[in-house]
Amino acid sequence: MFNQEKFFAFIEEQLQVYSKFKKPLIVHHFDADGLTSGTLCISGFEALGISFESICVKRLDYAILEEVLKLFKEKNCSELVFVDLGSGFVEELKKVKIPMLILDHHNFLESKDELLKYNIIQVNLRDFDGNGDFEACAASTVFFAFKKFSQTRFPPEIIALLGATGDYQQVGGFRGLNKLIFEKALKEGLLDSRVDLNLYGKNNRPLNAMLCYSSDPLLPGLTGNNESCLSFVKSLGFDLTINGKWKTYFDLTEQERIVFTSKLFEFLLNNGFNERQLKHLLGPIFIVKTLEKTSPFMLLDEFTTILNACGRNNQGEVGVGLLKGVSGAEEKALQVLALHRTNLKNAFAFGATNVQDFKNFYLIDGRTVISDSIIGIVAGSVLFSLPVKNKPIIGLSLDDDDSTLVKASGRAPKLLAEKNFSIGKIFNKIGVELGGQGGGHDLAGGLTFPSDKVEKLFIALEKEFEVFVN
């Protein structure tokens, strides 16, 4: 059980150290949790009056560490701060011999006490028997790592919960550190929640557009087919306009939403969806109460899509700028989102029709077709539609920056969690064997390795997954 009391006591003790950093280089991940945690870390050091430099990275490996150290030297920095990464790479970080702070929630290789011997402070709830897959993300970890934050466009509580939502930690309700922040946000009137439809564009897209452009999940018979979507919404039997404009889902009355949802589910079942997939279309949604109903940032899950679009299109600074309230960042972020959704739509179409069935896992080989920044999203979207419910899926793509490397992204069904399965630990082990770098969570992980070792990867995966799948 997560010992929150000891976790907070450790932070209180170590804050006395990192609050005296002279000029840290903040290195944060590029996904929604990385951008939100990076923003909070930047804001935390600003509130302490400490100057800093920052960089957003896709992952942490040997090559990127070299780039980080080069920037560290160029900018005359004094300390390194790793946010939403670092715990799985400490063997290399120990060799650097620079004062460090790691703010992470992923599986770690060495305990906080061992790392303190190397002048490395590791703030990770897993050191206190917490579960980094659902009790805290990097953003909620950083939220508690600092007492104050400088001015941001959105409250720190909202930014932290955006990080948790980006890592799907809202599924089943917020827990652990996330729950503490969620309850604080509710009490302060920042947030509201209810169970509703999980489709993008509920508050700002016409009904037919919401269905036509749905890419996560792909809606059979609707996604990419506007004619079919128009035909479907016209069959609903109620007025589709309000004040001369097409209604959004949020414009519907309660009765109209019931009709829309029931007929949508019936349509999807008739076109190949199963009951399990339908269940994933309903869930808790979280509404930022301080924003207008049509704001693209009003719903946490849709906001995280925008942040992920920024990070995965090499525009991480735009995502941080959006959260900080930098002028022009909102417009740039929405432009990046439009590009991102086009790329995703094409990638989802490929993934849905190119799944290979191995003995102990499924495979999407997206090399030369799908960017390494979205291959994990594609693999995750396909997972729920696969016939064998206890097999992981692996997506492959070439490294966007180095074609001699391959990125493997793995996603696993919740059924395997009951067997103490951890794809992050398996990827870490295989990474060492293949001369690469891997890690992650129990049900999601990433691995980068030399492109001439793909067949060896398949052999290793079959071996490691065998005991769990069979």
- Read off the pLDDT of residues 11-27 as tens digits, 9 standing for 90 and up: 999 999 999 999 999 99
In CATH, the architecture of 354-469 is Roll (3.10)
Task: Give the three-state DSSP class for 160.
Answer: helix
pLDDT band at 183 (very low <50, low <70, confident <90, very high): very high
Rounded alpha-carbon distances, angstroms, from residue 330 to 297, 303, 373: 10, 11, 22
Cβ-based neighbours of 232, under 8 Å, separated by 6 or more: 208, 211, 222, 263, 264, 267
> What is the residue type of 462?
E
User: What's residue 10's pLDDT?
Assistant: 98
Residue span(s) of the chain under CATH 3.90.1640.30 come to 4-154
The pLDDT, as a whole number, for residue 50 is 98
Q: Helix, strand, or coil here: 3?
A: coil
- Say what the pLDDT of residue 225 is: 83
**Residue 218: which pLDDT band, with cuts at 50, 70 and 90?**
confident
Rounded-to-10 torsion of CA 97, 102, 108, 111: 70
Beta-ladder partners of 55:
27
* Mean pLDDT (whole number) for 216-241: 88
Mean predicted confidence (pLDDT) in 43-49: 98
The model's confidence at residue 190, banded by pLDDT at 50, 70 and 90, is very high
pLDDT at residue number 295: 93
pLDDT of residue 385: 75
Q: Where in the chain is the domain with CATH 3.10.310.40?
A: 354-469
Q: Considering the entire predicted model, what is its pTM? A: 0.84
> Does the pLDDT at position 273 exceed 90?
no
Q: For residue 248, what pLDDT is reported?
A: 95
Tell me what pLDDT residue 423 has. Answer: 96
pLDDT higher than 90, residue 381: no
CA dist., res. 167 & res. 314, Å (int): 19
Q: Determine the distance from the C-alpha atom of residue 131 to the mean position of all C-alpha atoms in its chain, rounded to a whole number.
A: 16
Q: Are strands 437-440 and 405-411 parallel, antiparallel or unpaired?
A: unpaired
User: Does pLDDT of 364 surpass 90?
Assistant: yes
The backbone torsions φ and ψ at residue 394, rounded to the nearest 5 degrees and listed phi first, read -115, 130
Backbone angles phi and psi of 454, in degrees to 5 = -65, -45
Distances (CA, A) of 183 to 39, 192, 193: 21, 10, 11
Q: Which of 96-105, 149-158, 274-283 has the lowest mean pLDDT?
A: 274-283
pLDDT tens for residues 410-443?
999 888 988 899 999 999 999 999 999 999 889 9
Type of residue found at 327: S
pLDDT at 164: 98
Question: What phi, psi does 26 have (nearest 5°)?
Answer: -90, 120
Alpha carbon of residue 288 to chain centroid: 19
Whether pLDDT at 293 is above 90: no
Given a cut of 90, is residue 388 above it in pLDDT? no
Q: Is 90 helix (H, G, I), strand (E, B) or coil?
A: helix
Determine the Cα–Cα distance for residues 46 and 324; give it in Å rounded to an integer: 12
Architecture of domain 4-154: Alpha-Beta Complex (3.90)
**Range 271-286 average pLDDT:** 86
The whole-number pLDDT of residue 76 equals 98
Residue indicated by tokens 């799907």: 168
Task: Please state the rounded mean pLDDT for residues 316-330.
Answer: 98
Q: Which residues contact 1 (CB under 8 A, 6 or more apart)?
A: 129
Give the pLDDT confidence score for residue 160 in this predicted structure.
99
Mean pLDDT of 168-187: 95
